[in-house]
């Protein structure tokens, strides 16, 4: 592998262009393939706009090469990251093509957020060089990347991938078992399941759920993770609390009937004007802008370096 690995990104959408931006900003040669011409045509402009908004040099976008052919994007690449649609069959078909064109020693990675990596990579001739790299949105602001190997991934592939990510300023973590949702989304959606249940059971409304999270333990999470918190209050107190609360929590394995009903009725959230809550014109843009501002401030405040780098009861 070269001192500065060549990166190929398959998919120029929301995640793909942001991942390309991270590597381009760090001086990598980055090639991006997307079957949609309009996505490629706007690729550099979108990256440049992101960099300008962050107060960084938009010229880094010129290190990103849009490619109209998959073979051109992956030729000579050291790390290939698929950031396409979240569909198992589509990803399997795409990796069959990627493997046909990729260099023999290239690392093959998928950016799936929940699909087990082994399911995606099952048809590869050399699954030992394949793994998951789950980035978080927006990838140029959120430091974490979950690195997930399968039971067939070679240990040196995991180590090389984590080294590349760390050198690019990210915070890679090794997920030791290939399970649906990995670590972050299992935690996040366990919270969402209980949040939906609270509304469904009439305990409170959706606005109250969001307010409680944002105005209480959510404020502590950047500096106090859940297991740090358990150790802080004591495992004995944690056990005592769990004896009371765990039997009362939602444990159903299927999606909520309340959530299914929202979707069936066309209440799809901000894009339809109503989901769990009602939303007006411009609310989504305001919320996204507030999120970006918060993430930029959080990255600086908690010593993560430049953007893109890396509770008590």
Residues with a catalytic annotation lie at 113, 134, 146, 185
**C-alpha distance from residue 44 to each of 70, 286, 309 (Å):** 18, 24, 21
Q: Which residues pair with 174 in a beta bridge?
A: 147
Give the residue from 156, 174, 155 showing the smallest Cα distance to 166: 174
Instruction: Give CA angle at 211 (207, 217), nearest 5°.
Output: 145
What's the CA gap between 33 and 82, in Å, rounded? Answer: 10
Tell me which residue of 301, 72, 79 sits closest to 168, measured CA to CA.
79
Cα separation, 115 vs 32, in Å, equals 23
CB 100 within 8 A of CB 72: no
Strands (E), the chain: 7-10, 30-33, 64-67, 79-82, 107-110, 130-135, 144-149, 171-175
Distance, CA of 20 to CA of 61 (rounded, Å): 9
CA 275 to CA 84: how far, in whole Å?
26
Helix, strand, or coil here: 80? strand
CB 90 within 8 A of CB 16: no
| Residue that is written with structure tokens 């010593």 in the block | 303
Angle of the 184-200 helix axis to the 206-215 helix axis, nearest 10: 140
């Amino acid at each position: 592998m070269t001192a500065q690995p060549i990166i190929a990104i398959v998919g120029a959408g929301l995640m793909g262009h942001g991942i390309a931006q991270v590597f381009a900003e760090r001086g990598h040669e980055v090639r991006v393939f997307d079957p949609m011409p309009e996505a490629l045509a706007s690729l550099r402009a979108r990256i440049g706009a992101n960099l300008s908004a962050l107060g960084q040099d938009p010229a880094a976008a010129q290190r990103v090469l849009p490619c109209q052919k998959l073979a051109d994007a992956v030729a000579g690449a050291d790390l290939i990251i698929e950031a396409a649609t979240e569909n198992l069959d589509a990803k399997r078909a795409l990796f069959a093509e990627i493997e046909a064109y990729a260099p023999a020693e290239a690392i093959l990675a998928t950016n799936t957020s929940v699909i087990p990596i082994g399911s995606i990579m099952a048809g590869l001739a050399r699954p030992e060089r394949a793994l998951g790299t789950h980035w978080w949105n927006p990838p140029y602001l959120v430091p974490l990347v979950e690195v997930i190997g399968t039971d067939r991934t070679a240990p040196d592939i995991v180590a090389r991938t984590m080294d590349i990510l760390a050198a690019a300023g990210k915070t890679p973590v090794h997920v030791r078992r290939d399970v649906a949702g990995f670590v972050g989304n299992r935690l996040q959606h366990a919270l969402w399941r209980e949040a939906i249940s609270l509304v469904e059971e009439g305990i409170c409304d959706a606005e109250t759920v969001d307010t409680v999270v944002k105005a209480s333990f959510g404020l502590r999470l950047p500096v106090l993770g859940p297991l740090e918190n358990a150790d802080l209050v004591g495992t004995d107190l944690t056990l005592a609390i769990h004896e009371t609360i765990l039997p009362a929590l939602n444990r159903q394995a299927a999606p909520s009937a309340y959530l299914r009903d929202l979707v069936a009725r066309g209440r799809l959230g901000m894009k339809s004007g109503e989901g769990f809550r009602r939303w007006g014109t411009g609310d989504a843009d305001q919320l996204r802008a507030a999120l970006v501002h918060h993430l930029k401030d959080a990255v600086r405040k908690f010593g993560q370096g430049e953007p893109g780098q890396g509770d008590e009861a």
